[in-house]
Structure formats: structure tokens, C-alpha cells
Amino acid sequence: MQYDDEVHLDKDGYVTHVAGEPLDESRIYKVASISDFWRKRDAPSIGAYFEDHPEGLPEGDSGKPIHALLLRFFALQVWTRLWKELGFDSNGECTDPEAFKRLDHDGDGVLSKDDLKHAMAEIAGLDVDGMDVLVDMCISEIAAFGRSHNKMNGLSEDAIHQAAKHWSSSSLASLVGDSDDDDED
């Protein structure tokens, strides 16, 4: 299995912690997986669970394509890296009043796609040549918090700050579900 660094295993390879918290055996966790992960021949313990609890199997068309899920995850990792480099604290508060100016390379008061590409390369040290899909996803994630009023194709400073505050308290679980599902176990 693949998992992030917030999952901890014991010496026998069993999960002991998820998201830094001890495993709660009474809780149902969301996972990102291939569509047929429930087959007993591929994953005996998971398959046995779903044989006993078929009502727990998700509907076949309820999943999200893994590539889209990963792209969104990578986009949020880019923003996390940018926010860290720009002086945002762990609560999503910006400690540097000049942070937006460092993002807004052309100085027009709006973060455009070109500005973001420049920031990804210069501030975060990422090679973004040929990565327009990732850059577009980065913009899309912040656009949900508001676009600039003076230019519809760019992001406002306020949207970036709101997104930083929102994502500072999120986890991968929130990426898997819609915001309405975030409270589910």
C-alpha cells in the first residue's frame, strides 16, 4: 500500500496512526484506492470485511478518478510550499505584508497564470515548464475563494489569504470528499 507520512506502522506493518492520531478502530476512514480494491483475492482482509459488510461498498460511479485526486493534492502541496516560503504561519495568517507583491510578478494587483508560474519557479524552486495543467489546478483551487474584481482571469490577494486560512486546517481526507462530506468519519 501507498500512504503519506502521516500514517504510522508498527514493526509488523499494521497501521497504528492516521493523520498523526492513534488509529480508532471504531471509526470508518476514507481512502483513495483503485476501484476494485475490495476483491478478496487482491486484499484478503479488506475483501473479508466487505463480504461481511457489503453495505459499506461505495457505488461504482461514486469515486473520483485517481489522476484528478492526485493533481488536486499536488496543487495544494504547491500552495503549501508557496505559503511557507512567503511567510504564512500554521494558521494561514500571513506574517509578511509584502507577500502578495512577491507573487504578483507583473505588479498589476492580480495573480495571473504567468505570475503563478513565475512564483512557482522563483519562490518555490519548481520547474513548471510543460506543467500548465498543474498551474491551472493551482489557480482553480484558489478561485473557489474569489477572483479579483478588476480582472476576472486573476486571483485576488484576499482569495489567496482566505484559501491559506482554509487549507491550513485541512487534511488529505478533505481532498477526497466534498466540503459537505468533511465531517464524515
Residue ranges per structural domain of the chain: 8-56, 66-176
How far is residue 42's CA from residue 177's CA, in Å, rounded to a whole number? 25
Could you give the CA distance from residue 109 to residue 178 in angstroms, rounded to a whole number? 31
CA distance 59 to 75: 27
> Residue 48's closest CA among 58, 40, 57?
40
pLDDT for 86 beyond 80: yes
> Please, where are the H alpha helices in 53-154?
66-85, 99-103, 113-122, 132-143
Mean pLDDT (the chain) is: 81
Helix H or strand E segment including 175: helix 172-176
User: Of 96-105, 112-121, 134-143, 174-183, where does mean pLDDT reach its minimum?
Assistant: 174-183
Instruction: DSSP letter for 129, please.
Output: T
Cell 486560512, residue? 165
Place 78 in a pLDDT band, splitting at 50, 70 and 90: very high
Which CATH code, of 3.40.50, 1.10.238, 1.20.120, 2.60.40, is assigned to 66-176? 1.10.238
26: alpha, beta or left, given left = phi > 0 and alpha = psi -120 to 50? alpha
Provide the pLDDT confidence category of residue 152 given band limits of 50, 70 and 90: low
Residue 147, pLDDT score: 63
**SS3 label, residue 53:** coil
Grid cell, residue 145, equals 475563494
112 has pLDDT over 60? yes
Residue 123, pLDDT score = 92
The reported pLDDT for the residue numbered 46 is: 79
Q: Is the pLDDT of residue 144 over 60?
A: yes
